[in-house]
Structure 1
Amino acid sequence: MKGQKVKTIIALALPVQVILVKWIGSNPLFIEKYYSNGIYPAISRFFRTLLGWIPFSVGDIFYLLLFWLVGKYIYKNWKSIRSKPLLFGKDVLVVLSIAYFAFHLLWGMNYYRLPIEQRFGIQREYGKVELLDFTQYLIHKSNQYQQQITGDSIEPVKIPYSRKEIFEKTGEGYAKFKKTYPDFEYTPSSIKASLFSLPLTYMGYGGYLNPFSNEAQVNGVAPLFRLPVVSGHEIGHQLGYSAEDATNLIGFLVTSQNEDPYFKYAAYSHALSYCLSDLSQKDEKAFKTLWRIVNPGVKKNYKELQEFWAKYENPMEPVFKSIFNTFLKANNQEEGIQSYNSVVGLLISYHDRKGF
C-alpha cells in the first residue's frame, strides 16, 4: 500500500510540474541567468566528463535497455494490465512524471531561455533584396571553396576525414569561436555517432542530443560533407541552445570559422541550401537565375544528399516529423519544425552586423 501511495504522489506531480515549468519558463531572464548560465553548464560538463571518453553512445544503450524492460514488463504482466488498467495507467504516469522532471532538470529548461538574437545582437526580419544579396554571397563562397578543393568547377567535394577527425576538427572550431564568445567553451568533448543512425535516417534526422546523458549524437550514415555542420549543430544543443534555428546558426558560425577549407565549404553550401529553398518560395524566377551560377560540383553534392534521403523515404517519415513538430511546439518553439528554416534571417543579420 505504501508503494502505491508513493506512486500516486509521483503521478499527481506530473500536472503540477507542467504548470511550474510553464510558469518559470514565462520568465526567460530568470532561466537565462539561473539555469542556462547557472546550473546547466555544470550539469553538461559533468555528463561530458563522465561519458565523453566512452567511444559509443551510453544514452542509446540506455534507450535500448529501457525499451527492453518496458517490453518485458508488459509481456510478463499482460493479464494484470488487462484486469487492472487503472493501476497500469498509474505506472505509466509515474514513468512520465519522472522522465518529465529529469528532462527539464538536465536540459529541457533551455527551451525557455532568451532567444539567440538577443545573445548576438541580431534580428530575424529581412527583405527580399537582402535575401538575394546574401544568397549571391553564399554562392560565391560555396563556388570558391568547391573549386579550391577540387581544382575545377565540375567535381563534387569529397570529405577526406573520418568521423573521429571531423569531431576533433569541430572541437577546434569551437576553441576558436570561444575567443569571441567565451561561453561557447567546449571541453570536455562528448560527440558520437548514434547507434540508431539507420533508424534516424529512416526518420529523416541528421542527429540529436540525448537530454539524459548529454551526448551529442550525429547520424553516422549520412554523407560526410554534411557532418561538420551537423556536429557543430548538435554541440550547440549540448551547450544549452535548444532552438533549432539557433543551433543552425551556431553550427554554421563554428564550421565556417574553421581554418579547414572542407569545413568552410560544408558551412557555406549548407547555409546556401537554406537560402535557395527560401528564395524558391519567395521568387521562383530569381531562384532559377541564381541557380544557374552555382558550380556543377556544388549541385552534385546537393544531388548526392537528395538521393541519400530519397533512398530512405518511407511512409512513416511524415509521422515522425509530425511528432517532432508537436514536441517542439509543446516546448516553446512556436514555429515547430519550420524553425530550422528561420536560420535564414539570423544568418543575414549576423553577416550584415558582424560579417563572416
Structure 2
Amino acid sequence: MSLKNGIALSIIPQILLVKGLGNQTQLIETYYSNGLYPLISKFFRGLLGWIPFSLGDILYFILIVLAIGYCYKNRGNIWTNKLGFLRNIAMVLSIAYFTFHFMWGFNYYRQPIGEKLRLGETNDYQELVDFTKALIAKTNEAQFKITGDTGIKVQIPYTQEEMFQKSLEGYRLLSRKHDFLDYEKESVKTSLFSTLLTYMGYAGYLNPFTNEAQVNGRLPNFRFPVVAGHEMGHQLGYSAEDETNFIGYLATINNTDDYFQYTAYAYALGYCLNDIRRGDKDIFNRLLTELNEGVKLNFQEMREFWKSYENPLEPLFKSMFNSFLKANNQPKGIQSYNAVVSLLVAYHKAYPL
C-alpha cells in the first residue's frame, strides 16, 4: 500500500523536474535528444520495425480493455473506496508520465531545428507572397510533368509499402545535406485503427512507447508521402508539429521521384496559401487563379476526404490534442502545425527553390 502511495505521489516531483529541465534546452539537446534518445529509438525501431503490423496499436487496445474490465469488475469497491480508486489512477498516470518522458517526451524541450539550421526569423508578408508564387510555379510544373495536361489531377500509382520505402530513400538523400536528419532502422506502419484516426481528424501519430510511426492508411496517396515523412521525423526526436511538418516536407522534396516532389510542393503550398488567406483574401484569390486545374483537383480531393468523415466528436478530439500540445511546450497548441510556414520561407531564403 505504501509503495502504491509513493508511486502515485511521485507524479508531483516528476512534473516539477520536467518543468525545471524544460528550461535547460542545451542540456536536453546534448544529453537526451542527441545522447540517450537515439539509443532508445534505434533499439525499439530495430526490435519492432520488422513486424508488419502496429504492436503499439495492439498495446493501446489491450490497455483500454483491461481498464474497462477493471472498472466493471471492481465497480462496487470503486464506489465505496473512492480515494483508493483515485490513488490507483494517480499511480497509473505517474508510471505513464515517467515512461512517456523517458522514451520520447523530453524532445519537446530540445533545441529548435531553426537554430540548428541557423535560419533567420521571417515574418515579412511580402516574402511569404513571393515564396508562394515560386511554390505555385514549382507545383504547376511538377503536375504538368507527370500528367502532361494542366487539367488532370495527379494519381500516385504506388502502394503504401512502396511509399514507405521511397520515404526512406528521401531521408537518405536529405541526410547528405543535413547529417543530423539521417534515418536508420525503419519502423513505419499503417495504423490498425486508421478508420478511427480519420474520424478523429488525425493523419498519423507516433507511439512514444514503442517508437512506431503510424500513418493513417485511409489517407489519399496525394498526402501519404509527406505524412509518412512527418511521422518519421518524430522518430528522429523532433516533437514540435511545425518542425516535423518541415522535416516531412524536406524528406519528400529531396526524393528523386516526381510524384513525391509534387506532393511536397503541394503540401507546402497549401500551408502558405492558408496563411496568405488570413492576411489578405484578395491576394489569396488572385494567387488561386494561377494554379493549374489539376492541382486544384488534388486539393479538392483532400477537402472531400476529410469532409466525408466529419462528425460531432471530432472537435472534442482536436481539443484534447490541443491541450496535450500546450501542456508539452507548444503554446500554440494545434495551431503549431501552421507555424511550418515561417520555417519554409526562412529555409528557402538560404536554399532557394
The answer to whether the 8 A contact 1:230-1:251 is kept is yes
Report the CA distance shift for 1:350/1:292 in structure 2 as closer, same or farther (over 3 A): same
Deviations 1:113-155 (A, max 9, x none): 0111101111342211101101111101110111111111001
Distance 1:42 1:326 in 2: 29
Of 46, 51, 56, which aligns to 1:54?
51
Q: Which amino acid aligns with 1:302?
A: F
The answer to whether the 8 A contact 1:111-1:242 is kept is yes
Corresponding position: 1:131 with 2:136? no
In structure 2, the residue matched to 1:355 is 352
Backbone CA RMSD of aligned residues: 0.7
The answer to whether the 8 A contact 1:126-1:348 is kept is no
Distance 2:223 2:58 in 1: 25
Say how many residue pairs are matched.
Answer: 353
Corresponding position: 1:232 with 2:229? yes
Task: Note the 1:1-356 alignment, pairs <5 A.
Answer: 4-356=1-353
Distance 2:174 2:301 in 1: 30
Where structure 1 has 5 or more consecutive residues not aligned to the other structure, the ranges are: none
TM, length-normalised to structure 2: 0.99
Is the partner of 1:192 in helix, strand or coil?
A: strand
Deviations 1:27-55 (A, max 9, x none): 10000000000000000000000000000
Is the partner of 1:224 in helix, strand or coil?
A: coil
Distance 1:60 1:188 in 2: 20
Deviations 1:62-115 (A, max 9, x none): 000000110111111100000101111111001000000000000000000011
Distance 2:121 2:208 in 1: 27
Distance 1:275 1:263 in 2: 19
Deviation at 1:283, TM superposition (A): 0.8
Where structure 2 has 5 or more consecutive residues not aligned to the other structure, the ranges are: none
Deviation at 1:222, TM superposition (A): 1.0
Is the partner of 1:155 in helix, strand or coil?
A: coil
Structure 1: 4+ residue segments shifted above 4 A: none
Q: Which amino acid aligns with 2:23?
A: S
Is the partner of 2:256 in helix, strand or coil?
A: coil
Is the partner of 1:179 in helix, strand or coil?
A: helix
Distance 1:297 1:123 in 2: 34
Distance 2:30 2:143 in 1: 42
TM, length-normalised to structure 1: 0.98
Distance 1:194 1:259 in 2: 27
Distance 2:211 2:11 in 1: 23
Deviations 1:245-286 (A, max 9, x none): 100110111100100000000000010000111101101111
Deviation at 1:186, TM superposition (A): 1.3
Distance 2:82 2:91 in 1: 14
